[in-house]
């Protein structure tokens, strides 16, 4: 294995382990900014040592032990250790306090950090931060996303996201935000931003915005785990169960979404025998539970209902596109968004024909938020191709390929552009 290969492996391992590291370190140092710096220190140590010594059998444990050691050194050099004397050993004799604190701190990061991840989620989504900052910070700390990937999710610049994250960390530190899961009356008000964050993490794993991989399954798994935990935490919140349903049903298609060579496979072309029926069953059960709780359907319940229409169709031609278009119309009332309108247009094209869908898409072309969104020209190209307007379709596929930052998606779009070029009549023919 070359040095570059080793570094890629180390970075991949860190991507998986970083949220757990940061969560455990935050419980120890009570500062998310410092916790992330300590986790990065552990990564630097791994990049220096593992190429010489080999990757440990338990790389996550190695990173945690290294981070713990550095955290203890930081605490020893600061007044934080003195505060820990009060927090962890206020009832002990003074002569026993130092030993007790050292023992507590040494064991702190050896515990199961599953609960810490949930605490970190709610801390990152604290009301002291703006909604945008909560989402960006949580995606960074728990999702391990780069500022570029977060910027793509929000269709804003990297500099904007970077500023939000820096300011969010500073605000949390200045306000001494507690590292805890909210309880009682405070919980419902903070769920909405948490749900948004979980879904964005899932989406980044389900359809990676950049890089060579079409999907990042570990992010989907993290989002599903967090969603299921939230469902246990808030069993009477229909939107929580709606989100779980949405993610479970979408995740059921993961194995069918790529070819053996890793190329994307569109929904209607997927081998439905490869869909995970267990995940579909769990998703439909979660949706039924959400609907049984009552209340007006919200953002996630409606999206889950749309995915359920696909999951319940054994063959593509059995899909109830009219119902899907109607659900998207309801969703537009809850979330007026050009992206939702684009999805509705695609559903209308399937229910009423490509011309009807194309008319709706053309009306969205002037939307500023969609100007750099590759799925707009991609959807337009697909409908133009179905209508036999191959020259226009080719142009739109090429535009979509230029906008996407995902290698697999770009290759697929260029293939479709080439197919449209081949379908054009030869010059001079009639």
Question: Is the residue at 356 inside a domain?
Answer: no
Question: Is the residue at 106 inside a domain?
Answer: yes
Q: How do residues 305-344 score in pLDDT, each as one tens digit?
A: 999 999 999 999 999 999 999 999 999 999 999 999 999 9
Predicted pLDDT at 85: 59
Q: How far apart are CA 3 and CA 52, in angstroms?
A: 10
Task: Name residues whose C-beta falls within 8 Å of residue 169's C-beta, 6 or more positions apart in sequence.
Answer: 32, 33, 36, 137
Q: How far apart are CA 126 and CA 107, in angstroms?
A: 27
Q: Is 405 helix (H, G, I), strand (E, B) or coil?
A: strand
When the pLDDT of each residue in the chain is averaged and rounded to a whole number, the result is 86
Q: How far apart are CA 100 and CA 81, in angstroms?
A: 11
Q: How far apart are CA 299 and CA 330, in angstroms?
A: 9
Give this prediction's pTM: 0.69
What residues in the chain have per-residue pLDDT under 50?
A: 91-98, 100-101, 108-109, 112
Q: Is 210 helix (H, G, I), strand (E, B) or coil?
A: strand
Predicted pLDDT at 214: 56
E-strand ranges in 225-342 read none
Asked if 66 contacts 14 with a C-beta cutoff of 8 angstroms, the reply is no
Predicted pLDDT at 184: 80
Question: Is the residue at 48 inside a domain?
Answer: yes
Give how far Cα 359 sits from Cα of 168, 346, 394, 397, Å.
42, 10, 18, 18
Question: Is the residue at 71 inside a domain?
Answer: yes
What is the total count of domains within the chain? Answer: 1
Predicted pLDDT at 235: 86
Q: How do residues 136-145 score in pLDDT, each as one tens digit?
A: 898 888 777 7
Question: Is the residue at 16 inside a domain?
Answer: yes
Question: Is the residue at 130 inside a domain?
Answer: no
Predicted pLDDT at 210: 58
Question: Is the residue at 402 inside a domain?
Answer: no
Q: How far apart are CA 354 and CA 343, in angstroms?
A: 13
Structure tokens at 390: 């191959």
Residue 44: domain span:
1-111
Predicted pLDDT at 114: 57
Question: Is the residue at 52 inside a domain?
Answer: yes
Say which residue the tokens 């919980």 belong to. Answer: 187
Q: Is 271 helix (H, G, I), strand (E, B) or coil?
A: coil
Predicted pLDDT at 276: 96
């Amino acid at each position: 294995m070359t040095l570059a290969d080793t570094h890629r492996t180390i970075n991949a391992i860190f991507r998986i382990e970083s949220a757990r590291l940061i969560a455990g370190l935050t419980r120890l140092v009570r500062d998310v900014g410092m916790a992330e710096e300590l986790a990065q220190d552990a990564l630097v140590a791994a990049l220096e040592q593992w190429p010489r010594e080999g990757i440990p059998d338990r790389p996550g444990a190695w990173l945690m032990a290294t981070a713990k050691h550095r955290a203890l050194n930081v605490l020893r050099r600061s007044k934080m250790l003195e505060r820990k004397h009060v927090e962890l050993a206020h009832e002990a004799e003074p002569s026993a306090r130092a030993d007790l604190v050292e023992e507590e701190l040494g064991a702190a990061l050896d515990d199961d950090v599953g609960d810490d991840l949930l605490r970190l989620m709610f801390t990152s989504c604290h009301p002291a931060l703006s909604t945008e900052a909560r989402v960006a910070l949580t995606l960074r700390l728990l999702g391990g996303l780069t500022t570029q990937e977060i910027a793509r999710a929000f269709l804003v610049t990297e500099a904007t996201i970077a500023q939000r994250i820096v300011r969010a960390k500073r605000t949390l530190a200045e306000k001494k935000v507690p590292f805890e899961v909210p309880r009682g009356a405070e919980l419902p008000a903070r769920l909405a931003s948490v749900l948004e964050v979980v879904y964005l993490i899932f989406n980044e794993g389900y359809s990676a915005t950049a890089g060579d991989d079409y999907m990042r399954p570990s992010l989907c798994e993290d989002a599903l785990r967090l969603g299921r935990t939230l469902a246990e935490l808030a069993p009477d919140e229909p939107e929580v169960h709606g989100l779980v349903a949405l993610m479970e049903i979408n995740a059921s298609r993961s194995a069918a979404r790529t070819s053996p060579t890793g190329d994307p496979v569109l929904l209607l072309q997927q081998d439905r025998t490869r869909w995970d029926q267990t995940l579909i069953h769990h998703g439909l059960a979660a949706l039924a539970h959400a609907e049984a709780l009552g209340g007006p359907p919200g953002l996630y319940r409606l999206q889950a209902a749309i995915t359920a229409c696909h999951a319940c169709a054994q063959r593509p031609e059995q899909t109830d596109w009219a119902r899907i278009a109607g659900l998207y119309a309801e969703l537009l009332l809850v979330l007026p968004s050009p992206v939702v309108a684009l999805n509705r247009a695609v559903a209308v094209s399937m229910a009423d024909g490509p011309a009807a869908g194309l008319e709706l898409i053309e009306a969205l072309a002037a939307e500023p938020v969609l100007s750099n969104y590759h799925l707009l020209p991609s959807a337009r190209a697909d409908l133009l191709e179905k209508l036999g307007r191959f020259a226009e379709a080719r142009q739109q596929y090429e535009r979509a390929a230029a906008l996407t930052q995902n290698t697999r998606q770009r290759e697929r779009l260029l293939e479709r552009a080439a197919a449209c070029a081949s379908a054009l009549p030869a010059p001079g023919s009639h």
